[in-house]
Structure 1
Amino acid sequence: MRSGVVARVLIDNPLPQLDHLFDYGVPEALAGDIRVGQRVKVPFRSGGRIIDAYVIELVDPAGADDSFSGTLSDIDSLVSTAAVLTPDVYELARRIADRGAGSAIDVVRLAVPPRAVRAEKKWLAAQADAAAAEPEPEPAPSSDPVASPAVPSAEPVLPGLSGYTDAVVAGALDPDGRVAMTAVPRLVQTPSGAWVGHWALTMAELAARTLAGGRSALLAVPDFRDQEQLLAALHALLPAEQISRFDARQTTTERYSAFLACLGPEPRVVVGNRSVVYAPASALGLIALWDDGDPLYAESLAPYANARDVALIRQGLSGSALVLLGHARSIEAQRLVEIGWLHELAPERFSRPNIIATAQQGQPDEHAQAARIPSLAWREAKDGLGRGPVLVQVASPGYAPVVACASCREAARCAHCQGPLGQNAPGAAPSCRWCGAIAANWTCGTCGGHALRTVRIGAGRTAEELGRAFPGALVVVADGENPILSVSAKPALVIATRGAEPVAAGGYAAVLLLDGERMLGRESLRVAEDALRWWSNAAVLAAPGAPVILAGVGGALASALGTWQQAQWAGREFADRRALRFPPAVRTASVTAAPGVLDGALAELRELDGVDILGPVPAPPAGPGAAASDGLMRAIVRFDYAAGAEVARRLRAAIVAVASSRRRPPKGGAFRPAPTLRVRFDDPEIF
């Protein structure tokens, strides 16, 4: 028997042509339990097929589709009474999908973690107990205009930590406020004894003030190293029960439990990586991103939305404050500042790091200037070891990431996949960086030689060389395989890859930034921006007044770092990109398909104003070690922001048309897959 209510559901299916809501009847047996946001199972098509879905709306039959004259199928079953997909998160998912020509269910999979039954039952039981113990409602407050409810204090628990004027902090937390905030470049110590970047305390203080006002805060950081610093700062200001943590290191049960805790009505501070911007926090008052230019914010799954873009859209939907905090400003943030979407906020006063660029010291010796570790860096490292730890930042992990033939200097390649060869340890046989194959009896394909020479030095080889140069010094290697979050104030040589630098108690006695030219030699539009961000974040780890040596890099980039004017450099960089119509002055989309399919997808875009198409050209391999895309072509669509919605709509229509073109083969015939059409908006790889 049917209740008369119609449920509109989003089915969990990857086919793009099914990316819309479907109407189902609600059986009488489920009428009292069905709510928006719940997981249900529904019949789909024929053959008794049952699939998962989310309830998005519950409507009266009079409000359902009048064009349908048949009989609706009923919802098969209710998976759980927990309403896990809130209306605001679904609206966010719909906006993100439409912006990137994707499917809403793909975004929902990122927003709602996989279900953990035991954690869910425990949470539901706690919710039921809390509802049963809820006291009688208190009498209505007095209407006396003089009387006002008590407002929790918004003063920081740790005074004097912010480094900003009260007006600046208040401006950052204004409802519907959007700011690009410059971080104070120094380390601070929490009451628990942990040393963290001042940026972490700034974010924690903003979150604490938001929570004191009865609203929730979402705090996003690129990786677990930043997350540990931020959690240490938060625990100095807030009780642990008001903090939720999201990250990839959690088990399914832990992540789902943290997600369920955010569904309650109590305001919370939610900390996590890029997916935290989807957290269903109630009464959202603040979204803050640390170091928004970090590539880890780019989602690797369709529709590939960057966490910064998700935060911008969610801020518009929720009316919360938005803070992009960093030492170096991303070019995307600079664009938003220049069009007036973000306001600039800077600390009241601060001491910048003591940056010394060796290329700007006027050394007469060309060999000294070209050395990987200039003589000045050697001296500062030796002096620093007498006072405490010394940080050495290098470009690459491993021992010798790239090797070449010792005779003809041709890069050594794998015989199986033609990937680059490298050495993981001294004396070890070279192995492929793509497929992992061991090249024990390697022979050069150019000259027939068998000997290898090191082309690129990694963290392991650097540690070996510095260990010999400073006998008796403790050498610590910190990289992806050896994650180290902090080191003591004892003298040590800390060799770290970019982004993996540990925090030293009290700061490093000296910081050496090596391999700058190699970092800038990477083929990418963002290479200078990334390098400035890597160097800035490492320089802040130095103790006050300690030297920070930038080896082998000069020019405008070194000057911006030395004068700590990263925002001004970002402004000049954005002006150059605007003149060339490079991102983020314009948006881009990569479209990959077979020639005939690609022509059809691009045909309707050519008539739009503000749109130009580059290519097509043969599509590059999908990744390192992957085979070439056989017969596929790729075009780059470049368009103004105002045309973004229409470009996305037309490309989405092309995707649906291609996906719907597959026909069932004749009886006994071979399976014929649908033609390939891949679309990625704001693709970070195409420039």
Structure 2
Amino acid sequence: MTSASIARVLIDSPLPQLDHPFDFRIPPELADVALPGVRVVVPWRSLKNGAAGYIVEVTSDAEFTGKLSDLGEVVSPARVLTPEVWALARRAADRAAGSANGILRLAVPGRQVRVERAWVAEHEEQGADVAPPIPQVSATPITGYPDALAEALAAHDRIALDALPGVLPGPQEAPVGRWAITLAEVALDRYAAGESAILVVPDYRDLDQLLLALEERVPIVDILRMDAKQPNPDRYRAFLAALEPRPRIIIGNRSAVYAPAHNLGLIALWNDGDPLHAEPLAPYVHARDAALIRQEQSGAALVFAAHSRSVETQRLVEMGFIRPLDPQPRQRPKIIVTEQQDQGEGPAAAARIPSAAWKAIADSVREGPVLVQVSRPGYAPMLSCKRCGDAARCTSCHGPLGIPSRGATPACTLCGHLAAGWVCATCEGTEFRLVTRGTGRTAEELGRAFPATTVIVADGEKTVLTVPDRPALIVATRGAEPIAHGGYRAVLLLDGDRMLAAESLSIASDCLRWWSHAAALAAPGAQVLLVGVGGELARAFATWNQAEFASAELNDRRALRFPPAVRLATITGQTDAIGEVLTSLEGLPAGDILGPVPVILEETGRPTGESRAVVRFDYAAGARVAKELRAAVIEYATKRRAPRAGARPGRAAPTLKVRFDDPEIRL
């Protein structure tokens, strides 16, 4: 072979056995366009039209000693897979015992032909010798933080940043959270130095806030939004712009952490404890983990910012891997913890609000908007039997029954089956009792108590992003709270005891994060009232010392060997296959194996026919465990298995699923 005449191609396939580059000979007519990062089609015996893929390397050394097939076609000259993103995808997938293709589907959007052709033509017209533009902006002091923050960014340090609470006016007097102003100023610091920044936030509400904060500080042409809600052409256009050799500020959801960026100088994650940062598709790599890997590879600054620090970030802080930085001086909302005992009479009792909190709402709502946070959307999200008290279950799928709106017939919250003629399976009762009150019922009760006040509902079904600075009661579920102009005059946090009753290892940290986010929306000096919660969690919230609670939570998990003190890997599949995999992990240092046990579908309580084992191990053993489990998945996928008795012809073979750091495991 002549110099640089071999293309190593990663095939776009979900099959784990194909998750490695294949060598193809580059024919002379493709030598000028067959470059690393381009999309190609290669001949493939089982596919009539060939297999799609990316060239990840061009070399003169073939790993295959036989005769190589010729590269079939270069789809486009656009080099959409950069070496940095390919290295990130490979390493992140290996750490999670998964396929790099699973990550590249997030990193590289689907091709939009017209958008790509226009972009290629524009760059061919400009030529390759055009120097990248120099940003014509200057960095400004990062409001509320010491000079040490700017120094740490310039040194490309790793930082855990406690965000300032509050709401400030943005463009056209639109309200913007102070956290968004801080991230915009942090990004501007690197952008002014000629470096790109990637800002990753959980959802579209946060993206809108961040965009408002950036618009007054950075030329709009250099702000690239990569959002799953965008039309495909717009998202692909932003992706192609990120490939250009000029500094950009890239904002988006979890997949934006894989965005290409010229001279990357900053990766920032807002609220890394939010479950929306966890990728639900294989190989399930959390945005936090991808950011840590990319920071190590690129040497960029890394910022984890939040009102309530996650336990995972606290572990990195205590290891000395990340440097904590607090605002100077520290600011905190005026938080009051109230016990849910003396509810008084009349409307206050009906609305499950203590009399002291009720009086605070009545006084505050005369001046402006008041936020009431509840745990569930809907009218009555959960019902029970009035006679025996057992949870009311659907007769079709055994899911929980609820009332979606006032006057509606009770129905299953899972399958939608109407519960007309329902009979309790325990006592044969036929009447319901409300167990929880959702946004609809709470709004109804508050509307009766304050007949002259506007009541606004904001939840998953009714999206409200901002509210004006005038008297109103806003009833919202966690995470759906609108931003009020000037901040809320009072914030009431209800259903704390019900939130804490959820079966989750991280529920205490989650509640602290939900409450902190809502409290940060209060106006200066406004009261924030937490109802019905006490103990260390309430104390940490009242003193605005979330890091102290995260440290205590981490110590408890170390004692119990729970994540993130250790790592977990779950193996799901047929029991005999799991047994073979677990045999390969014998002798694992400082590790233990739980199970296998049958997998039960939580909504119905019925077995799925599969089993699951949990492997618990120290971080030092992570590379070995990932390698062994990946090898087991590939072996299982390629093994020829005789069909089981009674199996239908053509039915898909059972699979073996491996997931690292599974957040759904309840220890």
Among candidates 602, 606, 620, match of residue 642 of structure 1: 620
Amino acid at match of 1:647: V
1:224 matched to 2:204? The reply is yes
Among candidates 133, 146, 168, match of residue 165 of structure 1: 146
Amino acid at match of 1:107: I
| Alignment CA distance shift 1:174-1:469 (3 Å) | same
Q: TM-score, normalization: structure 1? A: 0.92
- Asked if structure 2 preserves the Cα contact closer than 8 Å seen for 1:372 and 1:551, the reply is no
Among candidates 59, 62, 65, match of residue 64 of structure 1: 62
Partner residue in 2 for 1:433: 413
Superposed counterparts of 1:267-306, under 5 Å: 267-306=247-286
- Asked if structure 2 preserves the Cα contact closer than 8 Å seen for 1:369 and 1:552, the reply is no
| 1:609-643 CA distance string (max 9 Å, x none) | 1211112211232x64595221x221110000000
| Alignment CA distance shift 1:365-1:613 (3 Å) | farther
1:111 and 1:460 map into 2 onto residues whose CA distance is 40
| Alignment CA distance shift 1:292-1:69 (3 Å) | closer
1:177 and 1:377 map into 2 onto residues whose CA distance is 44
2:642 and 2:36 map into 1 onto residues whose CA distance is 36
Paired residue secondary structure (1:8): strand
Superposed counterparts of 1:60-459, under 5 Å: 60=60, 63-65=61-63, 68-131=64-127, 154-156=138-140, 162-171=143-152, 173-359=153-339, 372-459=352-439
Cα distance, 1:413 vs structure 2? 1.1
Amino acid at match of 1:681: F
Among candidates 508, 515, 534, match of residue 514 of structure 2: 534
Amino acid at match of 2:638: S
| 1:274-330 CA distance string (max 9 Å, x none) | 111000011100000111100110000001011000000000000000000011100
Cα distance, 1:676 vs structure 2? 2.5
Q: Which range is displaced more, 285-294 or 28-37?
A: 28-37
2:456 and 2:648 map into 1 onto residues whose CA distance is 62
CA-based RMSD: 2.5
Identical aligned pairs, as a percentage? 54
1:2 and 1:337 map into 2 onto residues whose CA distance is 51
Paired residue secondary structure (1:547): strand
Amino acid at match of 1:165: P
Unaligned runs of 5+ in 1: 139-149
Partner residue in 2 for 1:628: 607
Paired residue secondary structure (1:546): strand
Cα distance, 1:363 vs structure 2? 6.5
Cα distance, 1:5 vs structure 2? 0.8
Cα distance, 1:575 vs structure 2? 0.7
2:52 and 2:2 map into 1 onto residues whose CA distance is 20
1:3 and 1:314 map into 2 onto residues whose CA distance is 31
Structure 1 runs, 4 residues or longer, greater than 6 Å off: 1-4, 150-153, 362-371
Amino acid at match of 2:357: A
Q: Which range is displaced more, 206-215 or 604-613?
A: 604-613
Amino acid at match of 1:8: R
Among candidates 647, 662, 666, match of residue 683 of structure 1: 662
Partner residue in 2 for 1:147: none
Paired residue secondary structure (2:522): coil
| Alignment CA distance shift 1:514-1:35 (3 Å) | same
- Asked if structure 1 preserves the Cα contact closer than 8 Å seen for 2:184 and 2:213, the reply is yes
1:479 and 1:675 map into 2 onto residues whose CA distance is 39
Partner residue in 1 for 2:5: 5
| 1:413-447 CA distance string (max 9 Å, x none) | 11111111111111111111111122222222223
2:458 and 2:595 map into 1 onto residues whose CA distance is 42
Amino acid at match of 1:549: L
Cα distance, 1:176 vs structure 2? 3.5
2:628 and 2:650 map into 1 onto residues whose CA distance is 29
Paired residue secondary structure (1:234): helix
1:18 matched to 2:2? The reply is no
Partner residue in 1 for 2:545: 565
Partner residue in 2 for 1:651: 629
Cα distance, 1:37 vs structure 2? 0.6
| 1:33-79 CA distance string (max 9 Å, x none) | 1111111101113574511010001111xx112xx442211111111
| Alignment CA distance shift 1:626-1:302 (3 Å) | farther
Amino acid at match of 2:109: P
Paired residue secondary structure (1:256): helix
| 1:580-626 CA distance string (max 9 Å, x none) | 111000000111122211111011212111211112211232x6459
Cα distance, 1:677 vs structure 2? 1.3
Cα distance, 1:4 vs structure 2? 7.2
Q: Give the paired residue count.
A: 663
| 1:64-116 CA distance string (max 9 Å, x none) | 12xx4422111111111111111110100001110011011111111101111
Amino acid at match of 2:62: A
Amino acid at match of 2:150: V
